[in-house]
Amino acid sequence: MSPADPAGSLADALHGLAGHLRWQQALGFRELALSGDYLAGSPAVLRRLEAQIAGCTRCKLAGGRSTIVFGSGAPDARLVLIGEGPGEEEDRQGKPFVGRAGQKLTEMLASVGIARDEVYICNIVKCRPPGNRNPEPDEIAACAPFLAGQLRAIRPAVIGALGTFAAQTLLRTKEPISRLRGRLHPYAGAPGVVVIPTFHPAFILRNPGIEYRKQAFEDLKLIRREYDRVRGASGG
């Protein structure tokens, strides 16, 4: 945004403040000390949110984790990718998608010309569920303010939902991934933001047949198309 556009700068600042207050409220805060850092940019907001989640005991996943896997990537990304939860390697390293599924994700992105470092990657829940099971409703609810805070800080235009569980959670539906993938879905509460579901990279590793790989590639091309569209519209 041009420095010569004070109205636009003010609108952005107020948007950031409103988002910050909403996720603080979701975390249970009812009173806040006034300071100028509420108007901070995405990197500062994400650092503050990550500091707040440190040592979290909001759900039972805290008892079995090694580390909290907050998220990583470009803090001003137009594209955010969201999986269901950390696996064993992610729990060990504290970074999302760093195991075999992470390597596969990097390959999938590269197949449509997207570099991993230009997107932001995180999960529905920030701690590893035992045995890599699906997160349970109370665990999702405990982590929901943190995911909401990440999305409000980054303000992406496109969200890639990786796998059945992430897609169903983000879209608040029980529809299977086979019916959700291959098309755009509006993201509730964020006008103009689209969700594009696709298969989780771990699923592709377990099912390496041509059919699923072809469908995943079609989804990735759709993600790429929308990513190019929003970057063109914003001049990014």
Q: What is the largest CA-CA distance in the chain?
A: 56
User: Which phi-psi region, left, alpha or beta, contains residue 75 (left: φ > 0; alpha: ψ -120 to 50)?
Assistant: alpha
Q: Which residues contact 8 (CB under 8 A, 6 or more apart)?
A: 1, 2
Q: What is the DSSP letter of 44?
A: H
Residue 99 pLDDT greater than 70, yes or no: yes
* pLDDT of amino acid 232: 86
Burial letters for 147-182: b for 16+ Cβ neighbours within 10 Å, e otherwise? Answer: bbbbbbbbbbbbbbbbbbbbbbbbbeeeeebeebbe
Select the more confidently predicted residue: 146 or 10.
146
Mean pLDDT of 164-187: 97
- Beta-ladder partners of 94: none
The whole-number average pLDDT for the span 13-23 is: 54
Q: How confident is the model at residue 6 (pLDDT cuts 50, 70, 90)?
A: low
Enumerate residues 6+ apart whose C-beta is below 8 A from 143: 58, 59, 124, 125, 126, 127, 135
Share of the chain above pLDDT 70, in %: 81
CA-CA-CA-CA dihedral for 21, 16, 157, 236, to nearest 10: -160
Distance CA 230, CA 235 (A): 8
Measured at the alpha carbon of residue 5, what is the angle toward residues 149 and 235, in degrees to the nearest 5? 65
Phi-psi region of 160 (alpha: psi -120 to 50; beta: other; left: phi over 0): beta
Contacts of 145 (CB under 8 A, 6+ apart): 23, 26, 27
Q: Of 84, 48, 61, whose CA–CA distance to 199 is shortest? A: 84
Mean per-residue pLDDT of the chain: 88
Answer for the pair 79, 121: CB distance below 8 angstroms, yes or no: no
Q: What is the pLDDT of residues 52-92, one digit of tens each?
A: 999 999 999 999 999 999 999 999 999 999 999 999 999 99
* pLDDT (0 to 100) of residue 2: 45
41 has a pLDDT exceeding 60: yes
**Strand bridging mode 79-83 / 158-162:** parallel
The pLDDT of residue 33 is above 60:
no
When pLDDT is averaged across residues 147-168 and rounded to a whole number, the result is 96
pLDDT average, residue stretch 3-29: 53
Q: Which pair of structure tokens corresponds to residue 159?
A: 């969200």
Work out the average pLDDT over 101-125.
Answer: 98
Which of the following CATH numbers is that of domain 40-234: 3.40.50.960, 3.40.50.2300, 1.10.3720.10, 3.40.470.10?
3.40.470.10
pLDDT digits (tens, 9 = 90+) for 176-224: 999 999 999 999 978 899 999 999 999 999 999 999 999 999 999 999 9
Q: Please give the DSSP secondary-structure letter assigned to residue 80.
A: E
Residue 21 has pLDDT above 90, yes or no: no
Q: State the Cα–Cα distance between residues 62 and 85, nearest whole angstrom.
A: 13
Q: Are 119 and 41 in contact (CB under 8 A)?
A: no
